[in-house]
Chain A
C-alpha cells in the first residue's frame, strides 16, 4: 500500500468531505421542507432587502472574526448554532425536547473540542459531532429563509454576489484562509470537516447553506426536477470542481499546502444561469402557498405515506 502523495490525499479528502457534506445537507433540507412547517412572523415575506441584510452579515461577520478575541467569538458562534438548532427542531420535537437535545449537542461539542483533539480518532469523533451541528444549522437556516418566502430569484442573486465576494476575498485579500485556519481545533467550527492522518478537510457552513437554499428554493419554485438540476450544479460547481482544481493548477494551495478554493466563484454564475433558464422555460416561480398546495407536501402535520406517491 503506497503512501499517497502530498497533493492527492488532501485533494481526495477535500472532495469526499465536500461531496458528502453537500449531499447530506441538501437531502435533509429537502426532507425538512417537505415535511416540517416552521413558524413564520405574522406579517412579512423574504425580499430583496433581506438578501442585502444577510449579505451584510456575511461581509461584516468575518471582519468581526478577525477583530474579536476568540472567546467572545466562540460565544457568538455558540449562540448562533443554538438558535438555529432551536428554530429547526422545535416544530419537530416540541419545546422541551428541543432544549434538551440542543443542550446536549452544544455541550458535547464544547467538551469534545476541548478534550479529544489529542489523537486522530479524537479528531474524527469531534468532526462527526461538529458536522451534525453544522449540517443541522444549515438545514434549519435554509428552511427558515425559504419557508419565510425566499425565492429562487433571491438565491440566484445572492449566489452571484457571493461569487464576486468569494473571489475577492480569496485572491485579493485572502482572509478566508486565515478564518478557516483560525477555527480548526476549537468548538463550534462553522464547517463540516474530517481528518485523515495529518490532513483536515473542511467545507464551510456558508457554502452548505447556499447550496441547500438553491436546491430547496428550486424545489419550492419549480418542483422536484428543477431541484435535482440544482443539486447537480451544487455538487459539481460547489464541491467537485473546487476540490479537483488543485490537481490542475497550484494557485489554490497556500504556503501551508492547505487547499483554498473560492467555491462560490464557480457556483454563483452557474446557479444564476440555471435560474434564468428555469424562469424562461417554466415561467413565474411558485409561491409558498402554491408549493404547500401540492399533494406531496405536508401542510401541517405529517400525512399518511400514500400521499407521498401522488405525483
Chain B
C-alpha cells in the first residue's frame, strides 16, 4: 500500500508535470493493480482517476492541453531536426505555444514522414523497434519506437485494461492483426505479460485455423474489422454458436466496422465488440467508441483536432474534417510527430453528447480515409463508411465489403461483384441504397474481380506449410 502510494504519486507527477515516467515504477504499479484485484476482486472506487487525468471542466482541460503542447513543442524545437526547421520557417514560438497558436503551424503529413524519416528522430533518443504501417493506402511508412515508449504505452494500457476489467490474469488474448504490425503485436504481448494474461498472436491466418484456436479457449480477441467479418462468416458456416466460445470481449481496431458485421459478431461469438481508433504514427493516443457510436478521444496523452479538409481551419460541428493528432511528451520521445494529419475523416459532434462518455470530447466514428471520399456533386460527399455500411447490409452479406465507388452524373456508381447482389433486381438494389441515403447506380462485375475492388486488411494473409494446431490452452 505504501509502495503503491509512492508509485501512484510518481505517475501522477509525470502526468501533471510532464517529467519522463519511471518505467520500472510504472510496471510495478500494474503488478500492484493486479494484486489489488486478486485480493479484493476489484479496484477501489476512484480508480479511474488514477490513470485518466481528471478534468474538472473545460478550462481545466484546455489548461492541460496548453501546458502539454508547450512542453512538447519546446522539446521538439531542441531535439527534432524536422520540427526545429518547421518552427523556424513558420515563425512558431515554442515559448508561447498553446492550442490556439498551434493552429498557425502547418500539419505534418504522411509524405513528410516518408520523405524525411531521419529528421523526425529526436537527438539522443534510442530507437528500439521499427513498425511499419500496414495501411491499404500506398507505400509503407516506418516509425521507430524506443523501449521507453513501448514500456510506458504497455503499462498504461495494462493499467487501463485492469481498471476497466478489460483484461485480467485469467484471460487469453488472441491477436488477429497483421504480424507485421510489430508495435501493435508487441504492445499486446507486453500488456498481457504485465497483467499475467496469456497472449496468442496468430496474425491474419486461414480463418478456420483461427476459429479452431478461438473455440473454447480465447477470452478476448483483438482483430481488424475485415478479418472479424471473415471469422463471422466462417463460424456461421460451421454452425458455431456462442456456447462454443469463451470470449468475453472483442476489440476491433482500424478499418470501418459496420453495424451489420458488429451485430452478427456479437450474436455468433456471444461477446460485445468495441470499436477503437488507434494509429501507429500517433501511439499511444487512442479513441474508444461509445454506445451512441461516437468516437471519444483520449486527451490525457495527446491533443486532437478536427480540421476542415480544404481550409485546414477547425471543422465546424457536423462538417467533415480530418483528425489531426499531437501525442505529448513524455508519452512519445523517439520519433514524435506534432499535428499529424491522419487523413481519417470524422465529423465534430453537432451538439453536446448525452452518452455514457459525455464528459470526454467526441466526434463521429471514423467515416473513412479522406482520399476515398466520393464527391458526387459540389458539396455532396459520400463517405466510405456510408458505402461499407450499405454494402455490408445487403441480404447476401458480402463480408467484408468489396466494392468500388465513384461519382457519375450527380449520383454514386457502385461496382459490386455478382455474388454480393445475388437474387436482387436492379430496382431492388436502387431501393436498398436509397433507404440508406445513397442515390446509387449499381454496376455488377464478375466475382473474380472482387478482391481488387477494395483492399482490406484481411487480405494480408500469412501463409504456413501446414495448418497450425492450437496448443497451450
Contact = CB atoms under 8 A, between A and B. Distances in A.
The A interface, classified by DSSP as helix, strand, loop or mixed, is loop
The number of chain B residues touching the other chain, given as a range, is 20 to 34
A42 B159 CA distance: 12
Interface string A35-66: 00001111111110110010000000000000
The number of chain A residues touching the other chain, given as a range, is 10 to 19
Interface string A198-215: 000000000000000000
A45 B43 contact: no
A40 B39 CA distance: 12
Given A41-B1, A44-B5, A50-B1, A287 B40 contact: yes
A148 B4 CA distance: 12
Contacts of A45: 1, 4, 32, 35-36, 38-40
B1 A149 contact: yes
B78 interface: no
Given A41-B4, A42-B50, A50-B2, A149 B40 contact: yes
B45 interface: yes
A14 to B, nearest CB: 35
A292 interface: yes
Contacts of A44: 1, 4-5, 8, 32, 36, 44
Contacts of B38: 45, 287, 289
Interface string B33-68: 101101111111111011000000000000000000
B1 A39 contact: no
The B interface, classified by DSSP as helix, strand, loop or mixed, is helix
B150 interface: no
B44 A289 contact: no
A148 B44 CA distance: 10
Nearest to B5: A44
Nearest to A145: B1
B44 A49 contact: no
A49 B2 contact: yes
Nearest to A150: B1
22 contacts: A41-B1, A41-B44, A42-B8, A42-B47, A42-B50, A43-B32, A43-B50, A44-B5, A44-B36, A45-B35, A45-B38, A46-B1, A50-B2, A50-B3, A149-B1, A149-B39, A287-B39, A288-B39, A288-B41, A289-B39, A289-B41, A292-B41
Interface of A: 39-47, 49-50, 53, 148-149, 287-289, 292
Given A40-B44, A45-B32, A50-B1, 11 more contacts: A39-B45, A41-B1, A41-B5, A42-B8, A44-B1, A46-B1, A49-B3, A50-B2, A53-B2, A287-B38, A287-B39
Ranked 3 nearest A-B pairs via Cβ:
A289-B41, A44-B4, A42-B47
